[in-house]
Structure 1
Amino acid sequence: MHRGRLFRPTVFIIISCILFLQGLSAAPPLQTGSFIRDAEIEATLHEYITPLFRVAKLDPKSLNLYVIVNPEINASASIRYSIFINTGLLLESKTPEQVIGVLAHETGHIAGGHISRTEGAMGKATLAAMAAMALGTAAAIASNSSDAAMASILGGMSMAQGIVFHYSRGQEGTADSSGVHYLDDLKWSSRGLLEFMQMLEKQEYLSPDQQDVYMRTHPFSRDRVDFLKQHLKNSPYANNRLPQDFYEKYDRMIAKLSAYLEPPGKTLLTYRATDQSVKARYARAIAFYRENNFPEASKQLDGLIHEFPRDPYFHEIKGQFMFEQGRLDDALTSYKQAIEIKPDAPLIHLAYAQTLIEKNQPKMDKEAIHELRNVLKDEEENSFAWRLLAIAYGRGGNLGMSSLALAEEALANDKPKIALTQSKRSQYHLKSGPDKLRAADIQSLAERLVKEKE
């Protein structure tokens, strides 16, 4: 996320949640409301929405896209170019056109300035959506307990379930109109959005408690379906297909999500051994790993890597598998290969840095610092990266920089009292220079935030 470090509105604080799709074989199931960070899934969704943002005259670099573990079919736009999309919507979709149709609609809400919530709801959303973005695997580094790490991540996530974004019927119609306009500009079909709305139409006469939450947050009307049908009837792009790789990436995204979120047995029934497609082998590799069947997981994954040696995400997930088995040197090798192929993926660099730190060697700590500094250029409010940086600096005896990283972490997690303490400690140890000035800036900001909370 590219934004000034001191721009922190009191009503909505974006905090990076590093909840990797990893370690689930040894951890409790992901709870509803958890935020998923995964390089491949995020890259796919960004590839879908970036062209939509451009034709809507919005800056794609300003987009904050969050995938939430929630079986309900829902997606919503919020302030600061933010879009939240539930795993339920992704997993219930049948085609990439349907996902892209929803993203086009949400882009219409952002471009149309439809984000309206009461001040009280805004404050609640700040706490609910952001307060529980925890440190994840950093806790495991300190405690060697994956259970403790997951508990740290999920501690306050149940609050996020209360966040609801409401639009009026008029805004919904406007967003539909804008969405199909963007799709036409790209010469993409609007059929997916119509199919999605028809899926919701079947729920129109159900009682509210039986309807998907999308029906309650995005008012439905028959007029919207009629509008989309008429538009599709007149559109010269009604039968156009998306770029071919969109379909392949969609299949992999859905296979990966379902393999991590569904019981392994269900995944193995869905993606049977007779299915030798890429998506099926990918899903089986994850399912076997979650069952602790490491030989079969490696067989599936190594076969994919042999067939697609330049696919960064196969190397990345192998790195995750190796890391979780304590095979750190093998994990480093896999992450290096992934980074060589896709150097612009901050989350892969972050996983590599985490593995370097786990090695607990001074030389590797220095390399980890370099990696984390680069990660933070792209994700300035990534609290997990700040915590890892604090560990690496602390091991090297650089108490000033370690305290500064802890202050940044606390600020990202909306803990101004801790940020205040750590910023003062940092200034005590640091010599004059930009880092000491930054610590002083954090102190000033933290003092103001503490007063606001009192």
Structure 2
Amino acid sequence: MAEALHARRWSGAVARLLMLLVLSFAFVAKPAMAQSVLRDAETEALFRDMSAPLIEAAGLRAADVRIVLLNDSSINAFVAGGQIVYLHSGLITSASNANEVQGVIAHELGHVTGGHIIRLQQGIGQAGNISILSLLLGVAAMAVGAPEAGMAIMAGGQAAAMGRFLAFSRIQENSADQAGASYLSRAGISGRGSLAFFERLQNMEFRLAIPQTDSYQRTHPLNRERIAVLENVYRNDPAWDRATSPELEARFQRVRAKLRGYIDEPERVIAAYPDTDRSVPARYARAFAWHRAAHPDRSLAEVDSLLAEQPHDPFFLELKGQILLESGRPADAISILREAVERSRSEPLIATILAHALIATEDPANFPEAERVLRTVVQRDDRNPFAWYQLGVVYDRAGDLGRANLASAERYSLMNEPQLALASARNAMAGIPAGTPDWIRAQDILMVSRAAIENQRGRRRRQ
């Protein structure tokens, strides 16, 4: 009886260990499912320009790599399979300058080129093998009348499995540090920001009283260890004293400020950027904060002061149009947003706001333009479910229910909602002439959605 109780307890411990390993991988593999993606035309353009020399230095194609911003206040970044680097909003708002973020991106590209997500599965498998072996040996010991020895073997196996997994993770982090340093060097970008970022993390750990004596129980090396290894590498690099381009740094400070204005509580934003601060980032942040606090007049005053100095800046125009639209003045927003689209070379995210304003007027005369704009948007941007939603509204208003359902199917497919995508695709096929390109596209979504639903059911059965 006692042996059975011990075995059940140990089985539970093993299950918890394996579940921890599986969940750690699941978090890495599908990080954005629990976090909302923040999309902004100015921010995405900045990320492209900041990362382009690093991507080239890493031997990757810029067209294949994406930098995705997640709405998460923690200071973090990671990769999750493929060539996508995820940055938390907290990392951007806490960074002092663009060079710090470039250091983080370089590190994450080291994970991409190192194939670390694939290798993580190997690390989990190795840890699982150790745990299973110790379980079998422990049960064998119990079976011959040595329950204490069996429990000791099992406990040792659990510790060894977790230690093996953590060591594997630390090796990957060290590898990414070295690769990131090489990419910064090849790109001619200083490593000062990378060191400053690690120092910031170290100071934060000190404030939180996180032990700094042993890295054995950590997935990452101690920050002081990383600094010690990298400092000599960076200081001896020819790019150490090379400053970030003033234009790039100014763009970063703008994006950082607008992000704070968008995600922080308005009161905190106003306190951080008081009215006495007349810099461009401060006015930009306040414009967003006043808009979120439902003070459109104050928000427009800030934007107008920015436009007085830079009357054709597409992102200032975009913000003014957005404020007017979301304040119930879509007709007033249209001409401003048209100019923003023109000045940004038809940037899809800005064009989406223009289409929204055209539709929001509820004037049928504006719907053909909205349709033209949206059809261009969805051809150029394959990650824009809101554009598909609006296109569905236009088709619905025109009485074209088949293509309205197709637009909904596209939208739900992008949102990873296969059940809804399947239903919409089926309705679209019923309302669109068979064999036409739109009918074939609906059929494709239907088949992909069915496969996704079957995969979901299979995962539930295995659980």
**What TM-score do you get using the length of structure 2 for normalisation?**
0.76
1:8 equivalent in structure 2:
none
1:188 equivalent in structure 2:
189
Query: Which letter does structure 1 place at the counterpart of 2:437?
Result: P
Match of 1:90 among 73, 89, 92: 92
1:177 equivalent in structure 2:
178
CA contact (8 A) 1:169 1:220 kept: no
Which has the larger displacement, 197-206 or 242-251? 197-206
Q: Which has the larger radius of gyration?
A: 2
1:310 equivalent in structure 2:
312
2:454 equivalent in structure 1:
451
Does the C-alpha gap of structure 1 residues 378 and 216 become closer, same or farther in structure 2, counting only changes over 3 Å?
A: farther
Which one has more relative contact order, counting CA pairs under 8 Å at least 6 apart?
A: 1
User: Which structure 2 residues correspond to residues 112-131 of structure 1 after superposition, within 5 A?
Assistant: 112-116=114-118, 117-118=120-121
CA-CA distance at 1:51 after TM superposition:
1.8
CA contact (8 A) 1:315 1:338 kept: yes
CA contact (8 A) 2:38 2:71 kept: yes
Match of 1:325 among 324, 327, 336: 327
Query: Which letter does structure 2 place at the counterpart of 1:446?
Result: S
CA contact (8 A) 1:53 1:59 kept: yes
Asked if residue 251 in structure 1 is aligned to residue 253 in structure 2, the reply is: yes
SS at match of 1:201: helix
1:111 equivalent in structure 2:
113
2:347 equivalent in structure 1:
345
- Give the distance between the partners of 1:407 and 1:269, measured in 2 at CA: 44
Q: What per-residue deviation string (whole Å, max 9, x for no partner) do you get for residues 95-131 of structure 1?
A: 1111111111111111111124559x9xxxxxxxxxx
Q: What per-residue deviation string (whole Å, max 9, x for no partner) do you get for residues 208-234 of structure 1?
A: 599xxxx96544354321221101221
SS at match of 1:67: strand
1:20 equivalent in structure 2:
none
Size of the aligned set, in residue pairs, is: 381
- Give the distance between the partners of 1:166 and 1:419, measured in 2 at CA: 42
Asked if residue 439 in structure 1 is aligned to residue 431 in structure 2, the reply is: no
Asked if residue 288 in structure 1 is aligned to residue 290 in structure 2, the reply is: yes
Query: Which letter does structure 1 place at the counterpart of 2:195?
Result: L
1:242 equivalent in structure 2:
244
Query: Which letter does structure 2 place at the counterpart of 1:174?
Result: S
1:153 equivalent in structure 2:
none
CA-CA distance at 1:190 after TM superposition:
0.6
Does the C-alpha gap of structure 1 residues 56 and 399 become closer, same or farther in structure 2, counting only changes over 3 Å?
A: same
CA contact (8 A) 1:64 1:80 kept: no
CA-CA distance at 1:14 after TM superposition:
10
Unaligned runs of 5+ in 1: 1-10, 18-31, 122-164
Query: Which letter does structure 2 place at the counterpart of 1:181?
Result: S
1:157 equivalent in structure 2:
none
SS at match of 1:298: helix
1:428 equivalent in structure 2:
430
**Structure 1 residue runs of 4+, over 6 Å off?**
11-15
Does the C-alpha gap of structure 1 residues 13 and 202 become closer, same or farther in structure 2, counting only changes over 3 Å?
A: closer
- Give the distance between the partners of 2:77 and 2:100, measured in 1 at CA: 12
Q: What per-residue deviation string (whole Å, max 9, x for no partner) do you get for residues 397-445 of structure 1?
A: 1122111111222222223232222222222221232111112222222
Does the C-alpha gap of structure 1 residues 13 and 109 become closer, same or farther in structure 2, counting only changes over 3 Å?
A: closer
CA-CA distance at 1:238 after TM superposition:
0.5
Q: What per-residue deviation string (whole Å, max 9, x for no partner) do you get for residues 301-348 of structure 1?
A: 111111101211100000111011111112111211111110242110
CA contact (8 A) 1:167 1:219 kept: no
Does the C-alpha gap of structure 1 residues 367 and 293 become closer, same or farther in structure 2, counting only changes over 3 Å?
A: same
CA contact (8 A) 1:407 1:419 kept: yes
- Give the distance between the partners of 1:398 and 1:104, measured in 2 at CA: 48
CA-CA distance at 1:261 after TM superposition:
2.4
Match of 2:393 among 391, 394, 410: 391
2:367 equivalent in structure 1:
365
Higher helix share: 2
CA-CA distance at 1:260 after TM superposition:
2.2
Identity of aligned residues (%): 34
1:273 equivalent in structure 2:
275
Query: Which letter does structure 2 place at the counterpart of 1:182?
Result: Y
Q: What per-residue deviation string (whole Å, max 9, x for no partner) do you get for residues 126-174 of structure 1?
A: xxxxxxxxxxxxxxxxxxxxxxxxxxxxxxxxxxxxxxx9972222122
- Give the distance between the partners of 2:235 and 2:412, measured in 1 at CA: 54
Does the C-alpha gap of structure 1 residues 367 and 344 become closer, same or farther in structure 2, counting only changes over 3 Å?
A: closer
Q: CA RMSD in A?
A: 2.8
2:24 equivalent in structure 1:
none
1:198 equivalent in structure 2:
199
Does the C-alpha gap of structure 1 residues 218 and 415 become closer, same or farther in structure 2, counting only changes over 3 Å?
A: same
